[in-house]
Structure 1
Amino acid sequence: MPSARAAAPPPATGAWREGDPVGHRRFADVGDLPLQLGGVLPRVRLAYETWGTPAPDGSNAVLVEHALTGDSHVVGEAGEGHPTPGWWGELVGPGRALDTDRWFVVAANVLGGCQGSTGPASARPGTALPWGSAFPRITVADQVAAEVRLADHLGVERFAAVLGGSMGGMRSLEWAAAQPGRVGAALVLATCPASTADHIGAQSAQISAIVADPGWHGGDYHDQPAGQGPHTGLGLARRLAHLTYRTGAELEARFGRMPQPGEDPLAPVAPGRYAVQSYLDHHAAKLVRRFDAGSYVALTDALNTWDVGLGRGGTDAALAAITVPMVVAAVDSDRLYPVADAARTAASPAAVGGLRLVTSSAGHDGFLVESAQIAPLVEEVLALGTR
């Protein structure tokens, strides 16, 4: 029997909003931010968390970058203020690869996100209303520019390393290209140096699913009653995305053509679901309760415009100019950012040791689950960053 929580309609947005439990978040007001595509985003705030203690000389700071629907809660249990447990908990903590007895670890909710940082669900300065449809276009470069302001706020002149996978890997690469004096080394994991036509096509389909939902209300849905937000569109976007996060072989091995228990997919009337449909439904239902559709659109648009070469003479020229040592890794079964995408980044003279491969049956999500293989990469990057 479904729980009362599962049976209740989801709120119009799953975003953290003012007045919600703060949890372990802290907040930094980083000022007005000029945007790469034009305009200025006023009074930007970033939510962040830290672990460990900063060294007196600031030499032990490390920045960890989350992926599309992640947040600053890298390690820790789910609980009041935090809808999900830490997403890299096996890598961060005392005695782990990112040993918090040695390192001062920082993680921010990305600009445009929905877990405390300025984004479509947050209040627009000078009004009592969410940004909604008025939220401007942002890019990965803008996200990093905001993180630079966070570093200033924390008194961090230089991160020993910046680490990230997927969209977080894009920000790691952008840090290396844009801020060579402020980062010692970078882990660029399970990502690409520029979005391809394939990426843009898949990502644009997800955006279209959301904005076509009648509950989208042109992007101004945040104060709608529970159950009347763009949940159908956001759930469909999540289903489409999740298929790119895993692999066909894994789905076949786990589900094949099995029916969902108690359901008949071949019934002539009101057919039930296959098990794989139930699996995707489950992930969609979880996301709509913890995420914001406007953030999903804004961040996915930032993925579409991503190119480390934007304003730097093109992708290859930008990669060739990077001087920050990088460890570049791909997941061998990744069909979202295939090995060839990472190989292009690994051709940079700054890439140490060529392309590294993480072996996984989990596809793109291998960057989240293959901790035993990623831990040595983290340790190598930290060693590079402290030379």
Structure 2
Amino acid sequence: MNPEDLQGRIVHFPASQPLQMDAGPIIAPLTIAYQTYGELNNARSNAILLCHALTGDQHAANVHPTTGKPGWWQTMVGPGKPIDTDRYFVICSNVVGGCMGTTGPMSINPATGKSYGLDLPVVTIRDMVRAQAMLIDYLGIDQLFCVAGGSMGGMQVLQWVASYPERVFAAMPIATAARHSSQNIAFGEVGRQSVMADPDWRGGRYLDFGVRPQKGLAVARMAAHITYLSEDVLQHKFGRKYQDREKPTFSFDADFQIESYLRHQGSTFVERFDANSYLYMTRAMDYFDLAADYGGVLANAFRGAKTRFCVTSFTSDWLFPTVNSRAVVHALNASGASVSFVEIETDRGHDAFLLNVPELFATSRGFLEAAARARGIAVRTAA
């Protein structure tokens, strides 16, 4: 596929191929929107699945059709980059519950002829992975060479190995955890309540009224964005500097640069993301607790898995601190899995996995090179 195809690809699964949800109901029919980069080799052995984070989508390495900005992992994915599209066939799909083409709250509910809104079943990380497995089956790929992602994407990586260990040759969970912490659930609830307090939310039926809860969603984004950065980054970049003024206005205008920055983050976010999808994505992360599905023992989730792991964390990430990654590594060691672990020193916080961090590039490239040799992937060959 040509990466310049900004609309990506769409696959429609008919009602005869429903997606069974953890909440009980099914989604049928199901639509999945995805992008691909590079070419699948003759052996179908070079496919890498990218799993996006909370507010990401399928546009990992192409210009985003809504914002006009580079894809969310343009630093990592492309010709000659660590996830080398001259060598690997890279797939990224919008998750179930999303708002960029995959079935989500904005999609039409066949039972009513209107958007699902909150009638869509609550989505879990495992639901997202089930839908991705349906896409991988549709593409005719038996085993993925690698599954990679950060944050909520890293949760999906862990779930992939737990649910389909024989289908994942290598795994790269980055800046993530095997369960959401109480603190992170709290931040998610603040965001959800911000959305639901907006008068234009209308109980989730805002599309029926031709409005959107933009103010509430913007505040949710502002609060969340603080958690993606570190105190050092905030202090270094903004400090207590004023925005376009030399002294305070003694008002509630955005006197400080950090205030102006956060307001900008909120206002641009509402242009590309759906408020109900934000509720669904944050709730999916809250519910994620991989050990709970395996008798409370995380190692049991990976028992017998032959997947190679590279687990990465960042020293300044206080949203998903290194202790979370170490817990995953300890569980993998206990299960007998092959695992390497790197804690990267950086002041760039949780968002480091999306930024230009040379140590992350070197770690990822080295891991994939070693895995490719073990997998017998040499150079790209035409399909």
Take 1:320 and 1:159, find their aligned partners in 2: how far apart are those partners? 17
Displacement of 1:178 after TM fit?
0.9
- Which amino acid is the alignment partner of residue 35 of structure 2? E
Take 2:246 and 2:125, find their aligned partners in 1: how far apart are those partners? 44
C-alpha distance 125-315 of structure 1, shift in aligned 2 (>3 A) = farther
The residue that corresponds to 1:150 in the other structure is: 135
Whether contact under 8 Å (1:234, 1:293) holds in the other structure is yes
Classify the secondary structure of the residue corresponding to 1:295.
helix
Classify the secondary structure of the residue corresponding to 1:185.
strand
The residue that corresponds to 1:339 in the other structure is: 322
C-alpha distance 315-371 of structure 1, shift in aligned 2 (>3 A) = farther
Q: 2:227 pairs with 222, 244, 259, which one? A: 244
Displacement of 1:125 after TM fit?
2.1
Take 1:361 and 1:352, find their aligned partners in 2: how far apart are those partners? 29
C-alpha distance 115-84 of structure 1, shift in aligned 2 (>3 A) = farther
Whether contact under 8 Å (2:150, 2:176) holds in the other structure is yes
Displacement of 1:355 after TM fit?
2.7
The residue that corresponds to 1:284 in the other structure is: 266
Displacement of 1:82 after TM fit?
5.8
The residue that corresponds to 2:150 in the other structure is: 165
Q: Deviations over 1:84-140 (max 9, x none)?
A: 421111222222212212211100011111111010011112443111121111100
The residue that corresponds to 1:302 in the other structure is: 284
Whether contact under 8 Å (2:309, 2:340) holds in the other structure is no
Classify the secondary structure of the residue corresponding to 1:309.
helix
Q: Indicate yes or no: 2:18 matched with 1:32.
A: yes
Number of residue pairs the alignment of both structures matches: 362
C-alpha distance 304-82 of structure 1, shift in aligned 2 (>3 A) = same
Range that drifts further, 353-362 or 94-103: 353-362
The residue that corresponds to 1:130 in the other structure is: 115
What pairs up with 1:137-286 in 2 under 5 angstroms? 137-225=122-210, 228-262=211-245, 266-269=248-251, 271-286=253-268
Unaligned runs of 5+ in 2: 376-383
The residue that corresponds to 1:314 in the other structure is: 296
Range that drifts further, 138-147 or 36-45: 36-45
Whether contact under 8 Å (1:161, 1:381) holds in the other structure is no
Q: Deviations over 1:241-283 (max 9, x none)?
A: 011000112111111111111485x434555421101010010
Range that drifts further, 345-354 or 157-166: 345-354
C-alpha distance 187-371 of structure 1, shift in aligned 2 (>3 A) = same
The residue that corresponds to 1:16 in the other structure is: none
Q: 1:41 pairs with 18, 27, 31, which one? A: 27
| TM-score under structure 2 length normalisation | 0.89
Whether contact under 8 Å (1:120, 1:132) holds in the other structure is yes
Q: Deviations over 1:140-185 (max 9, x none)?
A: 0000000000001111111000010011000011111110111101
C-alpha distance 267-82 of structure 1, shift in aligned 2 (>3 A) = closer
Q: Indicate yes or no: 2:47 matched with 1:61.
A: yes
Displacement of 1:199 after TM fit?
1.3
Take 2:20 and 2:339, find their aligned partners in 1: how far apart are those partners? 36
| Identical counterparts, % of pairs | 35
The residue that corresponds to 2:380 in the other structure is: none
Displacement of 1:223 after TM fit?
3.9
Classify the secondary structure of the residue corresponding to 2:87.
coil
Classify the secondary structure of the residue corresponding to 1:47.
strand
Q: What RMSD over aligned residues (CA atoms) do the two structures have, in Å?
A: 1.9
Whether contact under 8 Å (1:46, 1:116) holds in the other structure is yes
C-alpha distance 294-129 of structure 1, shift in aligned 2 (>3 A) = same
| TM-score under structure 1 length normalisation | 0.88
C-alpha distance 358-24 of structure 1, shift in aligned 2 (>3 A) = farther
Whether contact under 8 Å (2:206, 2:212) holds in the other structure is yes
C-alpha distance 82-50 of structure 1, shift in aligned 2 (>3 A) = farther
